[in-house]
Amino acid sequence: MKSELCHFIEDDIFLADDYFNFSEFILKKFKNDNSFFGCNAFSKEPYNEKKTHLYSKFFYGIGKGWSINKNRYFTIKKLWNNKFINSSDNAIDGPIETFIKQNGCFVVMPICSRCIELPTNGLNTSILSHKKYFSDMKKSFVKKNITIDDYKYTFFSQYKWRKDCIKYKGKYFHLFCNFIKKIYRLFKF
């Protein structure tokens, strides 16, 4: 294919009106940054009209509606090889998150969610055991049709997705932290 970008949208994901504008803005902005992996659509930070244009960088994986530039398609193609496809542990985002974290990459996520995962009893969630999860995503969702031509980066907005979703502080910072964790595990008594 000759496409310069790819949007991966699961069948139980509902998108905000500006999802494509937002993700394509991010893909274009970071196209030449080798540490950039992709753009996620989700958040569970409470909706705030003053924050609909804000995004931040995270040391995290992909999921719940994501977009990548062409160069990352080739990375994913290598990760989703026959060995992975034929394994019993083939959560599609697992090897991608591992790659991101091993290589000091980042993903961009909006402060207010550009997607809602529709409540279903899918592979990763169940309606009964994840009510708060579905509720939090819905409370963050950008519901009205907005047109923003000037999305802005923020480092200081809170973001409480999961404990392992941390602010991106630079490739070498995160690679150094990974190195320290390996050393600690090696010599842990």
Check pLDDT > 60 for residue 8: yes
Boundaries of domain holding 34: 5-187
| pLDDT of res. 30 | 97
Query: Side chain identity at 105, as an amino acid letter?
Result: C
Q: What is the pTM of this model?
A: 0.86
Q: Is the Cβ–Cβ distance between 167 and 159 less than 8 Å?
A: yes
Count of the separate structural domains present in the chain: 1
Q: Which helix (H) or strand (E) holds 96?
A: helix 94-102
| Least confident stretch, 15-19, 124-128, 134-138 | 124-128
| pLDDT of res. 79 | 86
| pLDDT of res. 184 | 84
Gyration radius of the chain over CA positions: 17
Average pLDDT over residues 50-68: 92
| pLDDT of res. 144 | 76
Query: What's the pLDDT band for 53 if we cut at 50, 70, 90?
Result: very high
> Helix count (H) and strand count (E) of the chain?
6, 9
The β-bridge relationship of strands 115-117 and 13-15 is antiparallel
* Angstrom distance (rounded) from CA 25 to CA 19: 10
Q: What is the pLDDT of residues 134-146, one digit of tens each?
A: 888 889 999 877 7
The encoded tokens of residue 139 equal 């409370």
* Angstrom distance (rounded) from CA 143 to CA 126: 24
Average pLDDT over residues 121-139: 73
Query: What's the pLDDT band for 121 if we cut at 50, 70, 90?
Result: low
* Angstrom distance (rounded) from CA 152 to CA 143: 19
Average pLDDT over residues 127-138: 77
| pLDDT of res. 125 | 62
Of 148, 158, 171, nearest to 25 by C-alpha is 148
Of 162, 129, 122, nearest to 40 by C-alpha is 162
Residue 40 CA: distances (Å) to CA of 8, 26, 135, 183: 10, 10, 19, 31
CATH number at residue 138: 3.90.550
Query: What's the pLDDT band for 90 if we cut at 50, 70, 90?
Result: low
Query: What's the pLDDT band for 4 if we cut at 50, 70, 90?
Result: very high
| pLDDT of res. 20 | 94
Q: Compare 188 and 77 and report the one with higher pLDDT.
A: 77
Q: Compare 137 and 149 and report the one with higher pLDDT.
A: 137
